[in-house]
Amino acid sequence: MKTHCYIERYATSDMLPTDIKALIPDATLRRRMSRFVRTGVATAMCCLDADSESGEAIDAIITATGFGCLTDSEKFLRNVIEQHEELLNPTPFIQSTFNTIGAQIALLRGYDCYNVTYAHRGLSFESALLDAAMQLDEGTARRILVGAADEQTPSQHRIMERMGCWRKHRDGEGAAFLLLQATPTREPSPCIEEIDFPETRLDDDTIRRRYAVEQILRCDTPQSECYPTAVARILTQAVAPAAGKQIRIAVCNNYMEAQPSVIVVSC
Amino acid sequence: MEQIIQQLKEQLIEALNLEEIKPEDIDPDAPLFGDGLGLDSIDALEIILILEKNYGIRLENTAEAKPHFYSVRTLAQYIVSQQDK
């Protein structure tokens, strides 16, 4: 799909301060959050806080996660087994849903706008991005917070190890959020120009020709951190301020060799 | 009584993940909900589980039990009264 989504701002979990109290000031919400939810929400807040000067509201919150809240899900399931399906703690159950991060962002900021979470394995972030792109292109939204987060837990790591996943890939986790706009507020602004799902993994030469790009960033190299929504963080690397002339970059994903995707960005 | 109060404080901190609070920070006579510790309805469910799992107290009528949930001390008194039965 061809599109024009301007990236106003972004934040990643690597940019978070050690103490996130300033980003999530509500102590009650904070104490119920697992490390994963805290990281995701704080990253979103970091992206939004940088935008506080403009004072403009956002029209949609679209989040993506491949695995969801694993820590809380594991805690809840362990509770079910240990307690013989009785006397279950409410907090891990409430927090284990896939849309916890999106919901907590809305609660913290008081946003009652469109709020959807995509959980489509390795294409979760691309699905969220497609939704945002369509809304911005159709004019149903002008400013959208799009982001992704995935965590790694010891049990999930062990299971994937037994499946042989870490023989070819490096494990990882992280969060990244982007504030997308239909029109740029400054020139030049990084712009997502295309989101595509080729049938097979394309080699670099084909990508350069087909998408007319000068640079390629891949999520599926042995050096890249491998988790379902790693592409969101790689996308922020593509738009990180770079001196020099404007270029087109292809961000390529192919999580666990299941379904390739290409996001074309000009910046 | 004092021993149950201390035990309850530790159980509340663990179950409700009150990570910035130490047992000595909790005033046993301060309200648990609203002011004081500022707990809410989800925390009330967690406290019901503490009573059931740790003290074998099953609440049949939550409306009647409401006054016992006022503070750590009233909760401890309720536990002692139920254990004496």
Summarised one tens digit per residue, pLDDT across range A33-83 is 999 999 999 999 999 986 555 567 899 999 999 999 999 999 999 999 998
Residues of A in contact with B40 (CB under 8 A): 28
Which whole-number Å values give the CA distances from A72 to A107, A198, A211, B8, in the listed order?
Answer: 19, 35, 41, 24
Could you tell me where the DSSP H helices lie in chain A?
Answer: 27-32, 35-49, 70-82, 90-95, 100-109, 124-138, 154-162, 165-168, 204-211, 230-239
Helix axes A230-239, A124-138, angle to 10 degrees: 60
Among candidate residues A258, A224, A239, the one with its CA nearest the CA of residue A66: A258
Residues of A in contact with B15 (CB under 8 A): 89
Residue type at B23 in one-letter notation: P
Q: Which two tokens stand for residue B36?
A: 């004081």
Closest to B17 (Cβ–Cβ): which among A31, A87, A94? A31
Q: Who contacts A130 (Cβ-Cβ below 8 Å, separation ≥6)?
A: A1, A195
Alpha carbons within 13 angstroms on the beta-carbon side of residue A185 total 12
Q: Report the alpha-carbon distance of residue A3 to residue A5 in Å, rounded.
A: 6
Q: DSSP characters for A82-147? A: HTTT-S--HHHHHHTSTTHHHHHHHHHHT--SEEEEE--GGGHHHHHHHHHHHHHHHTS-SEEEEE
CB contact under 8 A, B49 and A89: yes
The domain containing residue A86 runs over which residues?
Answer: 2-266
Among candidate residues A11, A257, A264, the one with its CA nearest the CA of residue A122: A257
Q: Which two tokens stand for residue A147?
A: 């982001």
Rounded to the nearest angstrom, the minimum Cα separation between A32 and chain B is 7
Q: Quote the Cα angle for A165-A71-A25, to 5°.
A: 130
Q: What is the CATH number of the domain that holds A168?
A: 3.40.47.10
Q: Which of A30, A38, A91 to mutate to test the interface with B (most CBs of B within 10 A)?
A: A91
Q: How confident is the model at residue A243 (pLDDT cuts 50, 70, 90)?
A: low
State residue A51's pLDDT score.
Answer: 54
* Number of domains making up chain A: 1
Q: Which two tokens stand for residue A228?
A: 């379902």
Q: Who contacts A17 (Cβ-Cβ below 8 Å, separation ≥6)?
A: A23
State residue B66's pLDDT score.
Answer: 86
Inform me whether the pLDDT recorded for B85 exceeds 80.
Answer: no
Q: How confident is the model at residue A241 (pLDDT cuts 50, 70, 90)?
A: low
In the numeric block, the tokens 């972004």 are attached to A10
Q: How confident is the model at residue B34 (pLDDT cuts 50, 70, 90)?
A: confident
Residues of A in contact with B18 (CB under 8 A): 31
Summarised one tens digit per residue, pLDDT across range A198-216 is 999 999 999 999 999 999 9
Give the right CATH number for B2-83 from 1.25.40.80, 1.20.1340.10, 1.10.1200.10, 1.10.1380.10. Answer: 1.10.1200.10
Q: Report the alpha-carbon distance of residue A141 to residue A135 in Å, rounded.
A: 6
* ipTM > 0.95 for the complex: no
For residues A171 and A152, is the Cβ–Cβ distance under 8 A?
A: yes
